[in-house]
């Protein structure tokens, strides 16, 4: 079974390389797709020059759900693994541990949960494991999630709600030593707080109404490697 790693990325030129190195060395990953979600920095160029990586550049920011959906539509691999572009401490073994239960048909989806990375992110994922951006899933199942491409930061919540509704087999996989920077660390206190509030709003909307909003179909051209 072929496996494609899909990495949605927005302005992650400095943090993306360490994630790509880990994913490229994973034994169960055959293909890597980086979707630069309207990035204003060199994220696309960094990805494009990595051997074994297919880079896609969205001309406008679609949000995380949109970037993930574009990535899934640009592979025919039966199994995909989503990873955030800003992870710290990720190893090839972590990636393989996410993929293996789905690869062996012991699960329909896995969720990677931070453990012993840093206190703040460990606590957040302990309280809200359904928002983890690290997950392996059968591609056909991901593409059946309603309006996932419009969910923006609520995409993980949207996927998890659908998984519960459809009774998918879900396994939690501890990612020991993995964490990521807080939004306030990446963007500064004010911009980071605003970004966090937007994320909470996206998640709350889906939790309250049970689905991502429908939006008009967007037509755009991709730059790709």
pLDDT exceeds 70 at position 179:
yes
CB atoms within 10 A of CB 105: 10
Pairwise pLDDT comparison (124 vs 87), residue with the higher score: 87
Order of strands across the sheet with 3-9? 170-176, 109-115, 135-138, 79-82, 3-9, 31-37, 53-58, 223-224
Which of these ranges, 80-94, 112-126, 178-192, has the smallest mean pLDDT?
A: 178-192
How much is the average pLDDT of 51-58?
96
The C-alpha torsion from 203 through 207 and 209 to 213, rounded to 10°, is 30
- pLDDT the model gives residue 153: 78
pLDDT exceeds 50 at position 32:
yes
Pairwise pLDDT comparison (223 vs 178), residue with the higher score: 178
Indicate the pLDDT class of residue 119, thresholds 50, 70 and 90.
confident
- pLDDT the model gives residue 110: 97
- pLDDT the model gives residue 184: 63
Rounded to 5 degrees, φ, ψ at 216 are -60, 145
Q: Check: CB of residue 154 under 8 Å from CB of residue 205.
A: yes
Q: pTM of the predicted model, to two decimals?
A: 0.82
Tens-digit pLDDT profile for residues 128-144 = 777 789 999 999 999 99
Indicate the pLDDT class of residue 121, thresholds 50, 70 and 90.
confident
Indicate the pLDDT class of residue 219, thresholds 50, 70 and 90.
very low
Indicate the pLDDT class of residue 221, thresholds 50, 70 and 90.
very low
Residue 203, C-beta contacts closer than 8 angstroms, at least 6 positions apart:
131, 153, 154, 157
How much is the average pLDDT of 27-39?
97
- pLDDT the model gives residue 116: 84
């Amino acid at each position: 079974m072929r496996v494609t790693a899909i990495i949605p990325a927005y302005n992650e030129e400095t943090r993306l390389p360490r994630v790509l190195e880990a994913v490229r060395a994973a034994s169960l990953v055959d293909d890597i797709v980086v979707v630069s979600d309207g990035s204003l920095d060199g994220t696309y160029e960094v990805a494009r020059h990595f051997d074994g990586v297919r880079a896609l550049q969205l001309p406008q920011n679609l949000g995380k759900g949109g970037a993930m959906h574009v990535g899934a539509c640009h592979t025919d691999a039966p199994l995909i693994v989503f990873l955030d572009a800003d992870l710290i401490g990720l190893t090839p073994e972590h990636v393989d541990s996410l993929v293996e239960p789905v690869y062996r048909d012991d699960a329909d989806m896995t969720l990677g949960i931070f453990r012993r990375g840093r206190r703040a992110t460990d606590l957040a994922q302990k309280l809200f494991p359904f928002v983890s951006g690290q997950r392996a899933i059968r591609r056909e199942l991901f593409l059946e999630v309603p309006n996932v491409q419009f969910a923006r930061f609520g995409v993980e919540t949207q996927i998890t709600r659908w998984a519960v509704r459809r009774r998918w087999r879900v396994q939690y996989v501890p990612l020991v030593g993995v964490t990521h920077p807080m939004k306030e660390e990446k963007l500064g206190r004010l911009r980071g707080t605003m970004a966090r509030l937007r994320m909470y709003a996206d998640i709350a909307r889906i939790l309250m109404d049970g689905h991502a909003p429908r939006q008009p179909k967007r037509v755009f051209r991709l730059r790709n490697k």
